[in-house]
Amino acid sequence: MRIAVACDHGGLNLKNAIISHAKAAGHEVIDFGTDAYDSCDYPDYALPAAAAVANGECERGILVCSTGIGVSIVANKVPGIRCAHCHDSYCAEYTRLHNDSNVLALGAKVVGEGYALKIVDIFLNTEFEGGRHQRRVDKITAIEKKYGK
C-alpha cells in the first residue's frame, strides 16, 4: 500500500517511527515532511499529504502533530478525505470498518510510540465492511458536495 505521511515539529519523532514501521511491513511511504524540529505550521504538511490521498496518489494517509487534532481538521477540509483522530485501537478498527476512513491522525503527546504503531497496523490492515455503512459514507460525500467542501 502507498501511504502519505506528514507531521509538524511536534510529531516528527513519531512520524519517523511510523515510516520505519510501515516500510518494514512492506508499504511504500511518501513523506510530506516536516523533517526538522523547528517550529512550523501543520497545515503546510497535512494538506499536501491529504491531497495525495484524495487524488489517488496514495491509498491512505497518516498525519501526526502533538495532539492529532490540528492535522485532522486540516485533512477533513479536503474533499474525499475522511480523517479519523484515533487514540486507541478500537477507534482505529471501527473507523475503517464503518467509516472507510482514509486518513489517520495521531497525537504524539497523547499516544506512546508502541501503541501508536499498533493503531497504525490496525488502521492499515482493516478493510471497510461496506453494506449499510456504505449508505452512511455516501451521505458524508453528499454533505461535502452540498457545502462545497
Catalytic residue among 58, 65, 83, 86: 65
> How is residue 100 annotated by DSSP?
-
Find out whether 72 and 63 touch, Cβ atoms under 8 Å: yes
CA nearest to 130, candidates 92, 99, 88, 87: 99
All cell numbers assigned to 20? 520505519
65 is catalytic: yes
Catalytic residue among 27, 87, 98, 133: 98
Active site residues: 65, 98
